[in-house]
Each structure stands twice: as C-alpha cells, then as structure tokens.
C-alpha cells in the first residue's frame, strides 16, 4: 500500500538521520559553518542496532523490511502478538522489554485514550541511555514536555519527528535542540500516495453511496410492509366489528 510505503520511507529517513546526527551539521552548513565549530559528535551506523517497533501494523511491518535491509535487528511490541507469518521472524517482547532493549524506538501505533502519552517520564527512565526515538504516528503518543527533558538530560540522544502534540505548533524545546530532526507532517507527502489516494477515495465513496442506497431501499420496503400490515389489521378489526 502506498501510504505504508511512504510513511515507512519517512520513518527510515528519520532513523538514519538521527542515528548519524546529521541535523546539527545540516544547520551549521546553511549558516556557513561547514560541519560546525566545534564539529558534532560522531554518529552511529544502523548495522546491528536494535530497532524496537511499537505498533506492528502495516507501516510497522513495512518499516521492519526496510530496517533489516540496513542491517538492523528488529523486535516489536503490539497489542496482540502477531502470527508467525505477519511477524516474519521479528521477536515479540513485552512493553518494558521493548523500552529496555531498543537502541532505536519507532512509534507506529494509533492514538487513542490508551496510547496518549504512552511514552512519558517513567518510560524514558526504562530506556537505554542515549536511545534514539522516531515518531511518524501521532504526536500525542509522546509527552513532548517529558521528551524535551529527556533530551536535555541525555537520556535520549536524538529524535526524529514528523508529528506533534499540537500541530502546527511545536514545543519550543524541540525546535531549539539541534539533535532533533523535524518534519512538518510529510510522511505521505508524495506523488505516488496522491495517485493511490484519489481513486481509492472515489471507490470508497462509491461503496458508501451504494450501501446507503441499499439501506434506503430496504427501509422503504420495510415501510411499505408495515403500511400493508397496518391496513390488513384495520380491515380485519372492521370485519370483526
């Protein structure tokens, strides 16, 4: 599916950028300072790093394939353990194990009352020091104020974000931190997704219209049936009288 591909591509871009720490030198370069003065810390290659995927739906599984192509080891946590076919070799771990074992944590789960701020202060404390976090799902999955503190105290080394708690506003602590890669919600901003989306949208609208028409016809049929029964009942009681 085009949406899964495009979002997972964006996810992988942010993983590579945050692992390597490219953002600091990208900013320095535009300011005429080459890599920066002093130069930034050396980054990390993705090979052999543990990628923890929180939410192993279509996008999470798509990301798994891409990450493995870069030599990453993938583990996951999901609301329900996947079948062996869908997991495709990725070990299922508990939520706490995911936090403790991941070098990179990718958030790929929907936002609801159970997942809002699922990553906050106590979760950061369970993570490896220097973890990298990427979020292309929904902004409010992370407590942004807690994330800023975790970045400032070094618990989180860097993060890559495409979504935010209060879009289009972004927490000023994230904007000010050069170790944070920021995208303005561009996970599906591609020609291919739009080409896929338009006919799919039309097909869905056509399906919904057809369902409504069938329901309307069924309701009219029921109404006629009720009117007929009512008329028969009136005739019956009139004859009895």
Residues carrying an active site annotation: 138, 167, 185
**Cα–Cα dist 41/17, whole Å:** 13
**Cα–Cα dist 116/80, whole Å:** 18
Q: Residue 158: CA atoms inside 13 Å, Cβ hemisphere, count? A: 22
Number of Cβ within a 10 Å radius of residue 20:
17
**Cα–Cα dist 97/95, whole Å:** 5
Single out the residue of 57, 150, 51 nearest to residue 111, CA to CA. Answer: 57
3-state helix, strand, coil in the chain (%, to 5): 50, 15, 35
164: CB partners within 8 A, 6+ apart: 139, 144, 170, 171, 174, 185
């Amino acid at each position: 599916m085009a949406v899964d591909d495009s979002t997972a591509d964006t996810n992988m871009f942010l993983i590579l950028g945050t692992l390597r720490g490219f953002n600091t030198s990208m900013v320095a370069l535009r300011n005429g300072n080459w890599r920066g003065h002093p130069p930034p810390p050396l980054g990390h290659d993705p090979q052999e790093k543990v990628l923890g995927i929180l939410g192993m739906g279509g996008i999470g599984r798509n990301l798994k394939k891409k990450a493995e192509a870069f030599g990453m080891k993938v583990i996951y946590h999901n609301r329900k353990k996947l079948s062996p076919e869908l997991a495709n070799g990725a070990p299922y771990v508990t939520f706490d194990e995911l936090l403790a074992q991941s070098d990179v944590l990718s958030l790929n789960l929907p936002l609801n009352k159970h997942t809002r701020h699922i990553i906050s202060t106590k979760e950061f404390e369970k993570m490896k020091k220097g973890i990298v976090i990427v979020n292309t799902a929904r902004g409010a999955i992370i407590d942004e104020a807690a994330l800023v503190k975790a970045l400032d105290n070094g618990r989180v080394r860097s993060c890559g974000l495409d979504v935010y708690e209060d879009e289009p506003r972004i927490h000023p602590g994230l904007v000010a931190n050069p170790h944070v890669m920021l995208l303005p919600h561009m996970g599906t901003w591609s020609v291919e997704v739009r080409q896929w989306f338009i006919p799919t949208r039309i097909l869905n609208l056509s399906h919904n219209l057809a369902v409504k028409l069938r329901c309307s016809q069924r309701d009219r049929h029921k109404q006629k049936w009720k009117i007929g029964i009512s008329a028969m009942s009136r005739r019956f009681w009139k004859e009895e009288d």
